Each structure stands twice: as structure tokens, then as C-alpha cells.
Amino acid sequence: MIGAPTARPQLVRAMGVREIASGVAILGGLVAPGTAVWSRVLGDAVDLASLGAAMASPRSDRGRLLAAGAAVAGATILDVLCARQYSPGAERRKGPLPVTVSLVIDRSPEELYRHWHDFANLPTFMTYLEYVKVLDDRRSHWVAKGPAGSHIEWDAEITEDRPSEYIAWRTVGDSDVEHSGSVRFAPAAGSRGTLVTVELRYRPIGGSVGAAIASLFGKEPSQTIKMDLRRFKQVMETGEVITTEGQPAGRAQSTSWRYDSAVRT
């Protein structure tokens, strides 16, 4: 029917068994759904290969083979898209949230909590912030550097505060850059300081919300947050963030615009 030269009952039966097995795997839940759907893709590949081999035979009906091939190719595309949806990383591809980054810092949880809790300190290591004004023990006003010298501002409130352990905050009111964040301080294994974990959540990128968030955290927010944590580590361990801005070079700008800004733009 599909135009192949000879019917080989065993082969057809084997393919049938394969299809059924794939179906059972997908619906039965014994195997991870992503893996099960990828098995369909594998089957599709075998089908396409068989059709291709059949094309070589002079006794095959080319027209029907091509039609069958097109149908299988279409199914393959659908299967691949479906498999990707189920595979690890699908969450990330839908939109980069939530973002979780950890770093170990050689200071006590108490010291780190104290420095972070005074939000006025944040601009020393979150370089996209201009300043943060602490209003009371829960509320603060944040001003960040926007594109082309503009400013992005928002109010935030602390939603949870466990001394030397955990601080959570979120933006207040209607904001283009609506987001919530938290930082956790836990003693690191082997008395090697503190494990600091930052989590950031924001609505998926899209439209004006997306543009504002992107200008804040860059195209890869986990990268930006990690750099923030690295700078926090430098401040706490060495007293300062190391920089090459302002050093001499044989060109108009002193530092490398390409690499310094690569994450933000």
C-alpha cells in the first residue's frame, strides 16, 4: 500500500510491535515521558530509513513511497517537538525562571546575613543597581540603571526574615519589573564558610515586562545573579570588587567593552 516492492510480514509485525511498545511507554508512565516520546522519534528514523532503502528498488512505486515518506516526516517533526517539551530543560526554554544560583563564601552566615540585610549595601555587588533606600525594617525603594542612562525604580518589601538564615523580598504594587527574590545562608560542609543560595522569580519574558526585566538582569539572568554572588564573595572575603575599569590600554577605551558587557546586553 505504501509502495514498497515486497510485503515482508515479519518486518511489518516488528514495526507494529515497536509502535505499540512506544505507545505503552508514553501512556503507561513506567519510563520518563521525554524518553518515551524520543523512542517514537527513533522509530520514525527507522521508518524513514526503510522507505529510503525501498526507493532504491526498481520494483517500488515511487509516488506512493514519497507520499508515505512525507507522512512519516510530518509525524517525525511532531514527535520531536513533543519530546523536547518533555525533556529536561523544557522549563528553561519556556522562560528563564525561577533562577537559582549558589556560591560558597568563606565567612560566617551571621556576617553575610548582616551585610545583605542592609539593602543599601547591595549596589556594591549588584552593579545594575544605582542605589537602594531602606525606608523601614520591611520596605525599601530601589533604583536601577536602565538602558540609555534611564532609571528603573520600584518598591520592595521583605516578606520573610530569619536572622543569619534567610531573607525573602518582593516588589510591591504594579511594576514592569515585578519579581521576588530570596537569599539563604547555610553553613557549608567541612566548616568552609557559608553556602549562599539566591533564588529569583519573575513573570515570563514577553512584551514590555520582558524588556524591562531583560534590561535589568540581562539575557541570561542566572549568569547575572552568579556574577552578583561572585562580587558579593569578593566584597566579603577581600573587602572589594576587583576591576580593570580605568586601566591603561592601547585603544580608546581602557577595558574590554566586549567582555565586560557581554552578559548584560
Partner 1 sequence: MKANCWYGKQDVRVVGVPDPRIINRKDAIIKVTATAICGSDLHLYNGFVPTMEKGDILGHEFMGEVVEIGPDVKKLRVGDRVVVAFPISCGQCFFCKRELYSLCENTNPNAWMAEKMFGHSPAGIFGYSHLTGGFAGGQAEYVRVPFADVGTVKIENGLTDEQVLFLSDIFPTGYMAAENCDIAPGDTVAIWGCGPVGQFAIRSAFLLGAERVIAIDRLPERLRMAQEGGAETINYEVEDVYDLLMQMTGGRGPDSCIDAVGLEAHMHGPLFYYDRLKQAMMLESDRPIALREAILACRNGGTVSVPGVYGGLIDKMPMGAVMNKALTIKTGQTHAQKYLRPLLEKIQSGAIDPSFVITHRLKLSDAPHGFATFNRKEEHCIKIVMTP
Which residues would be at the binding site for partner 1 (CB under 8 A)? 104, 106, 192-193, 219-220, 223, 226-227, 230, 233-234, 237-240, 242-251, 254-256, 258-260, 262-263, 265
If the CB atoms of residues 36 and 105 are measured against partner 1, the closer one turns out to be 105
If the CB atoms of residues 106 and 160 are measured against partner 1, the closer one turns out to be 106
The three-state DSSP-derived secondary structure of the chain is CCCCCCCCHHHHHHHHHHHHHHHHHHHHCCCCHHHHHHHHHHHHHHHHHHHHHHHCCCCCCHHHHHHHHHHHHHHHHHHHHHHHHHCCCHHHHHCCCCEEEEEEECCCHHHHHHHHHCHHHHHHCCCCEEEEEECCCCEEEEEEECHHHCEEEEEEEEEEEECCCEEEEEEECCCCCCEEEEEEEEECHHHCCEEEEEEEEECCCCHHHHHHHHHHHCCCHHHHHHHHHHHHHHHHHHCCCCCCCCCCCCCCCCCCHHHHCCCCC
If the CB atoms of residues 3 and 193 are measured against partner 1, the closer one turns out to be 193
If the CB atoms of residues 173 and 248 are measured against partner 1, the closer one turns out to be 248
If the CB atoms of residues 135 and 262 are measured against partner 1, the closer one turns out to be 262
In the complex, what is the shortest distance from the CB of residue 113 to partner 1, in angstroms, rounded to a whole number? 20
In the complex, what is the shortest distance from the CB of residue 265 to partner 1, in angstroms, rounded to a whole number? 7
In the complex, what is the shortest distance from the CB of residue 4 to partner 1, in angstroms, rounded to a whole number? 41
In the complex, what is the shortest distance from the CB of residue 196 to partner 1, in angstroms, rounded to a whole number? 13
In the complex, what is the shortest distance from the CB of residue 201 to partner 1, in angstroms, rounded to a whole number? 22
